[in-house]
Chains A and B, each alone.
Chain A
Amino acid sequence: MAAYGLYSHIRSNRRRSIALLVGLFFLVYVLVYAGALAAAALSIDADLDTLMQIALADLIKAAPFATLGTALWIVIAYYFHQDMIDALTGGREIQRTDNPRLYNILENLCISRGIPMPKLKVMDADALNAFATGMNAKQYSITVTTGLLNRLNDAEIESVLGHELTHIRNGDVRMMVIAVIIAGVISFFAELVFRLWFYNGFGFRGSRSDERRGGAPASPSWSQSGSSSSPMCCRSLSAWRCRARVSSWPTPARWNSPKTPMP
């Protein structure tokens, strides 16, 4: 059953996060297999069946390293992605005394929902932007640009913060980070294959005269189509999911002036 409200979305996002994490490991195995197949096709002249068997054997040999590598990738992303984002965007955390107006708006929203308050960060930029990040309650933070703070009034800022807070509460943020990790892994593999293809002069060795040994031209298209279409699919899928989630909720309006039109 499709999710229809906040609580069912929370449950569904939790399930999807787990499914994505499990799927990431399988994805890595598939990509390693694709890489092994391409490598076998490049170096060995044989039919497709033999090549696939060789690739499978290579996969089984490489599986422990692939699993370890993926686990390491996930652990690094889990603990350090917040720092990476902060380093990239220049966000700095603020306390109540730095900007009491903004801090109180977020605090009141959190009181009304009974959830702990995420860290509040401000980023120096002219663009009006705000986003939520973090994988667990200790890491959650909302970053807002100075451009947005200067241009919007209290009610509008409250809507923006409420929107970001709902992303956090929804479990969206955690799921999006996992999806981005997966997109990163796929891009990594896609680049690897692309470079392999490129350095072989946009083609592969393989005799075309013998039917039995025609496996080589077929195998690159398998691995290439898999690994290059995935990043685009992945990115557009993540963006679509975020948009679909976003457009289905009403933004919280101020509760003590119910006649204020929703922005």
Chain B
Amino acid sequence: MSISTVIVLAVIVVAVISAIGVYNGLVAMRQRVNQAFADIDVQLRQRHDLIPNLVETVKGYAAHERGTLDEVVKARNAAMAAQGSAQQAAAENQLTGALRQLFALAESYPDLKASANFQQLQAELADLENKIAASRRFFNNAVQEYNTGIQRFPAALFASSLGFAPKSFFDLGEERAAVGEAPAVKF
């Protein structure tokens, strides 16, 4: 075994080991993206669970606001039934809009506003909105790390051939315009 053979073998071994390391890193990052996406769902489901309670509480004080209440219930059912991430995102945004209208409405019912049950539900839903935003932020972070990982030098050579496609950030898309509108509150 001449010295050059040893060197060549050593180089090959090092290359293989580092390739394995890079591949495992990519797999870990992809799984983190998947997990982050599933975690957003956890918060969304929790929000769905709170809504029936909220609707019942509001009905107790503002029974003739059927229009808004029905919209909330409809939006919630649509969000629970949505399939695929684009449909889900759209349905969840609808639900957020309906809830915002409901809370704006509750401003004109002082009894409802003073009810401890309603205040607690309002606080919990507000906190859930923050949690949804936080988990989306983490999802974006995971996507950024993954996208960077598959485009960096050694990985870029073999990432696409091994099935690592870039993923997209959480984007509100066309619904952004609708979400950006303030709810129409009529006095």
Residues of A within 8 A of B (CB): 100, 104, 107-109, 111-114, 255-256
A162 CB to nearest B CB, Å: 11
**27 A-B contacts, Cβ less than 8 Å apart?**
A104-B127, A104-B130, A108-B130, A108-B131, A108-B133, A108-B134, A109-B134, A111-B39, A111-B131, A111-B134, A111-B138, A112-B133, A112-B134, A112-B135, A112-B138, A112-B141, A113-B138, A113-B141, A114-B32, A114-B36, A114-B138, A114-B141, A114-B142, A255-B134, A256-B129, A256-B130, A256-B133
Q: Is B15 an interface residue (CB 8 A)?
A: no
Interface size in chain B (residues, C-beta < 8 A): 15
Contacts of A114 in B (CB 8 A): 32, 36, 138, 141-142
Dominant secondary structure at the A interface: helix
With a cutoff of 8 Å between Cβ atoms, the chain A residues found around residue B36 in the complex are: 114
Inter-subunit contact A255/B137 (CB<8 Å): yes
Q: What does DSSP make chain B's interface, helix, strand, loop or mixed?
A: helix
Given contacts A100-B123, A108-B131, A108-B134, 4 further A-B contacts (CB under 8 A): A108-B127, A109-B134, A111-B39, A256-B129
Among A104, A109, A112, the one with the most B-chain Cβ atoms within 10 Å of its Cβ is A112
Determine if B123 and A111 form an interchain contact, defined as CB atoms under 8 angstroms apart: no
Complex Cα distance A134/B164, Å? 38
Q: What CA separation (Å) do A100 and B127 show in the bound complex? A: 10
Of A104, A108, A255, which is in contact with the most chain B CB atoms at under 10 Å from its CB?
A108
CB distance from B56 to the nearest CB of A (A): 22
